[in-house]
Amino acid sequence: MTLAVFFGCSFIAFGPALGLCLFSVVREPLRVIILVAGKAIEGLVALSEDGCSPISIQQMAYVAGLGFGLMSGAFSMINLLADALGPGTVGIHGDSQLYFLTSAFMTMVMIFLHTFWGILFFHGCETQRWWEMVAVIFTHLIVSGLTFWNPLYLGSLIPSYLLMFATAAWAYVLSGGCTQNLLRSLQGQQSETSPQPGS
């Protein structure tokens, strides 16, 4: 369906996640390593001078989650984007015309969800709260199950987005955030309790 659809769908699916990547990961080389290689923590510890992990566990959770999210987004979206480059659009067998658009939005929500699930799961592992881990798995299954509503796209996208916002809020709270910090950051002021590296 031409270049316009190709770029449109890629930006919808990956834009926000790449934005997150750009603002929070790319500047710190260690975070880039974790984004790409996930389980590099032992290697990093071995390389560090004082034997401690140079990156906090929350940062690792966030970056690892983002990495997994981007990977899953790539796997689900690349093959669609390759077909989006061609001259045709979905619909000759009666499927909905909005297939590419809704797939892009679904991919975006999955990338965000993976990021937040990463934070929740790591927190659950660190603090031995098994119910957080179960919640992550459970919500993963719910979101996958919601896709059975397709092509009734409202039935799959809206609940997924609501679940994403809920998971985002939970992950934010677990990372030590509070509403005051949120309001201050929205107003452009720096937060007083930002997590320090190494804690």
Partner 1 sequence: MAAGAGWRMGAGERGRRGAETLFRGLLFCVLGCGFCWGNSVERKIYIPLNKTAPCVRLLNATHQIGCQSSMNGDTGVIHVVEKAQDLKWVLTDGPHPPYMVLLDGELFTRELMLQLKGSSRISGLAVAISKPSPAQGFSPGLKCPNDGFGVYSNDYGPQYAHCNWTAWNPLGNGLAYEDFNFPIFLLEDANETQVIKQCYQDHNLPQNGSVPEYPLCAMQLFAHMHAVTNTVTCMRRSSLQTAFSLNPEEVCDALSDYNVWSTLKPINTSSKINPLDEVIIVATRIDSHSFFWNVAPGAESAVASFVTHLAAAEALHKVPDVQMLPRNIMFTFFQGETFDYIGSSRMVYDMKMDKFPIRLDNIHSFLELSQVALRNSSVLWVHTDPVSRRNDSIQPQVETLVEALINSSVGANVTLQEVGQSQPLPPSSFQRFLRAKSIPGVVLADHRTSFQNRYYQSMYDTAENILMKYPEGLSPEETLDYVTDTAKSLAEVATVVARALYQLAGGTGNTSAIQADPRTVSRMLYGFLIKTNNSWFQSIIKQDLKGLLGDELPQHYIAVTTLVNTTQLVQYVLANLTGTVVNFTKEECLNPEKTPNPEKEMYVYTWVQGSRDPNSTSRVPFCVQSTVHLTKAASPAFELKQWGSTEYSTWTESRWKDIRARIFLIASKELESTLEAIAEADI
Sites of contact with partner 1 (CB under 8 A): 1-2, 4-5, 7-12, 15-16, 19, 42, 45, 51, 75, 79-80, 83, 86-93, 95, 97, 99-101, 108
Nearer to partner 1 by Cβ, of 114 and 174: the residue is 114
CB of 122 to partner 1, least distance (A): 17
Nearer to partner 1 by Cβ, of 12 and 113: the residue is 12
- Cβ-contact 168, 112 below 8 angstroms: yes
Nearer to partner 1 by Cβ, of 81 and 174: the residue is 81
- 32 φ, ψ (degrees, to nearest 5): -65, -40
CB of 180 to partner 1, least distance (A): 29
- Cβ-contact 28, 66 below 8 angstroms: no
Residues 178 and 136: their CA atoms lie apart, in Å, by: 22
SS3 for 190? coil
CB of 88 to partner 1, least distance (A): 3
Q: Is 188 left (phi over 0), alpha (psi -120 to 50) or beta?
A: left
CB of 176 to partner 1, least distance (A): 28
- Cβ-contact 29, 197 below 8 angstroms: no
DSSP state, residue 194: P
Nearer to partner 1 by Cβ, of 158 and 183: the residue is 158
Nearer to partner 1 by Cβ, of 101 and 146: the residue is 101
CB of 114 to partner 1, least distance (A): 16
Give the helix/strand (H/E) hosting 42: helix 41-47
Nearer to partner 1 by Cβ, of 23 and 131: the residue is 23
- 46-75 burial, b if ≥16 CB within 10 A, otherwise e? eeeeeeebbbebbbbbbbbbbbbbbeebee
CB of 11 to partner 1, least distance (A): 4
Task: Identify which of 105, 103, 83 has the alpha carbon closest to the alpha carbon of residue 92.
Answer: 83
